[in-house]
């Protein structure tokens, strides 16, 4: 673990570069426009420091632990597993990380309220998680079968757009917001490195065009799922 010090230095510099513009703008707004009570401003400064320390730890942890984890699993899957196993793992990873996500719970409550209780919170939660799971599995199967991402995306977004015209208007923002639920900071590197690992061991796959897209494609599932629930409820 002698390599920790240069890694730490590099990550601290990166985090400061990332955070300082935002902190600077907020401080400028405080002085020029917001004039918040000093207690709230002190809270902001403390919060920024916590966020900076936290981000350094995230980056170091991702580099030494999370990325290798995804890469090992991604490289091993096609060697020892069948197509069914790969698709099953993608599905369960998508489902499990979504069902546990706090953002999804909040969203599920909103759909419950918007539908006047016609669609229960619990059913929304499972439908969204199912949407993520199915689309993550589809995206993984796509890499194996070599189907074009453009075609899949056009069909998926086309379906979502078409459904937007039929769903009750209050469901539309909720649906597109549901698309942002699959974005856990730690899920991101695992899923990406898993897909990169998989595309690296399959012959004739491009690291970039096949390794990416899995994460984002999973997020179209919940958009379509919520729109359909809206149409059913309305």
Q: Which residues in the 21-50 window bind another protein by CB under 8 A? A: 21-22, 24-26, 29-30, 33-36, 40-41, 43-50
Residue closer to another protein, measured from CB, 10 or 120: 10
Q: What span, in angstroms and rounded, lies between the C-alpha atoms of 37 and 114?
A: 36
List the interface residues with another protein, window 70-89 (CB under 8 A).
Answer: 72-73, 76-77, 80-81, 89
Residue closer to another protein, measured from CB, 127 or 196: 196
- Least separation in angstroms between residue 16's CB and another protein is 11
| Neighbour-count burial for 148-183, b at 16+ CB within 10 Å, e otherwise | ebeebeeebeeebeebbeebeeebbebbbbbbebbe
List the interface residues with another protein, window 169-208 (CB under 8 A).
Answer: 169-170, 172-174, 176-177, 179-180, 182-190, 192-193, 196, 206-208
Contact map string, positions 86 to 125, toward another protein, x by CB under 8 A: ---x--xx--xx--xxxx------x---------------
- Least Cα distance to 215 among 139, 127, 107 occurs for 139
- Residues in binding contact with another protein, number by CB under 8 A: 104
Cβ atoms of 55 and 3 closer than 8 Å:
no
- Least separation in angstroms between residue 83's CB and another protein is 15
Cβ neighbours for 146, distance < 8 A, ≥ 6 positions apart: 204, 205
Which of the ranges 122-130, 211-219, 224-232 carries the binding residues for another protein, by CB under 8 A?
A: 211-219
List the interface residues with another protein, window 136-175 (CB under 8 A).
Answer: 148-150, 153-154, 157-158, 160-161, 164, 169-170, 172-174
Q: Under the criterion CB under 8 A, does residue 231 sit at the interface with another protein?
A: no
- Least separation in angstroms between residue 222's CB and another protein is 11
Q: Under the criterion CB under 8 A, does residue 58 sit at the interface with another protein?
A: yes
């Amino acid at each position: 673990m002698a390599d920790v010090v240069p890694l730490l230095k590099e990550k601290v510099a990166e985090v400061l570069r990332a955070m300082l513009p935002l902190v600077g703008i907020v401080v400028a707004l405080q002085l020029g426009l917001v004039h918040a009570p000093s207690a709230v401003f002190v809270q902001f400064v403390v919060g920024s420091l916590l966020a900076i320390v936290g981000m350094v730890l995230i980056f170091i942890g991702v580099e030494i632990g999370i990325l290798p984890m995804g890469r090992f699993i991604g490289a091993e899957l096609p060697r020892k597993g069948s197509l069914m196993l790969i698709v099953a793992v993608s599905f369960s990873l998508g489902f499990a990380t979504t069902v546990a996500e706090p953002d999804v719970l909040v969203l599920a409550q909103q759909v419950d309220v918007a539908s006047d209780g016609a669609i229960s919170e619990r059913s929304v939660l499972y439908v969204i998680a199912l949407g993520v799971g199915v689309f993550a599995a589809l995206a993984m199967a796509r890499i194996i079968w070599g189907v074009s991402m453009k075609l899949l995306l056009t069909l998926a977004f086309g379906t979502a757009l078409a459904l937007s015209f039929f769903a009750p208007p209050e469901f539309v923002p909720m649906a597109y917001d549901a698309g942002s639920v699959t974005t856990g900071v730690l899920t991101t590197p695992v899923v990406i490195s898993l897909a990169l690992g998989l595309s690296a061991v399959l012959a004739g796959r491009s690291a970039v065009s096949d390794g990416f897209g899995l994460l984002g494609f999973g997020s179209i599932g919940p958009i379509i799922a919520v729109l359909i629930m809206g149409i059913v409820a309305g």
